[in-house]
């Protein structure tokens, strides 16, 4: 992400100009160029279904990573509208937009630190053992 500071103005690659709210928090949302048409892969196009799923996941991930809490709902509604305009069924869109938020985070097993000891036999002794006949 490129950040340029020039006379108290910021430019982010995917973020609109952040503004300060009255409580001092920063408000930011996803930036789209004025020439953006909102055209994505049409749902009826001959493209693997996983590409269409990943488009939704990518757009939602970008919105969740960039948007502040007060802008997130607006951006998710905007994504739903854009996908609908590109022929995506509402059920398909809803299922893939909410996929990550419904999955509970599973705790990981703590890793054990320490050395792993193996039975190492010097190369010469190994050859002697394997070459001896019973």
| Structure confidence by residue, pLDDT tens digits, 19-39 | 777 777 777 888 888 888 989
d(CA 46, CA 107) in angstroms, rounded, equals: 39
d(CA 39, CA 127) in angstroms, rounded, equals: 68
Asked if pLDDT for residue 7 goes beyond 50, the answer is no
Residue 66, C-beta contacts closer than 8 angstroms, at least 6 positions apart: 14, 15, 28, 29, 30
d(CA 94, CA 100) in angstroms, rounded, equals: 11
pLDDT of 95: 93
Enumerate the domain spans of the chain. Answer: 4-105
pLDDT of 5: 46
| Structure confidence by residue, pLDDT tens digits, 58-111 | 999 988 888 888 888 999 999 999 999 999 999 999 999 886 554 455 566 676
pLDDT of 30: 84
Burial of 10 (0-12, 13-18, 19+ CB in 10 A): middle
Distance between terminal CA atoms of the chain? 68
What global pTM score does this model have? Answer: 0.62
């Amino acid at each position: 992400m490129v950040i340029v500071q020039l006379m108290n103005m910021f430019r982010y690659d995917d973020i609109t100009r952040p503004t300060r709210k009255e409580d001092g928090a920063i408000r930011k949302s996803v930036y789209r160029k004025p020439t953006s048409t909102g055209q994505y892969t049409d749902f009826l196009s001959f493209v693997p279904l996983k590409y269409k799923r990943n488009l939704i996941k990518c757009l939602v991930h970008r919105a969740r990573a960039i948007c502040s809490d007060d802008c997130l709902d607006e951006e998710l509604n905007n994504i739903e509208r854009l996908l609908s305009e590109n022929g995506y069924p509402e059920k398909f869109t809803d299922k893939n937009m909410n996929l990550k938020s419904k999955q509970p985070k599973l705790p990981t097993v703590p890793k054990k630190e320490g050395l792993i000891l193996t039975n190492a036999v010097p190369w010469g002794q190994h050859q002697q053992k394997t070459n001896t006949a019973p």
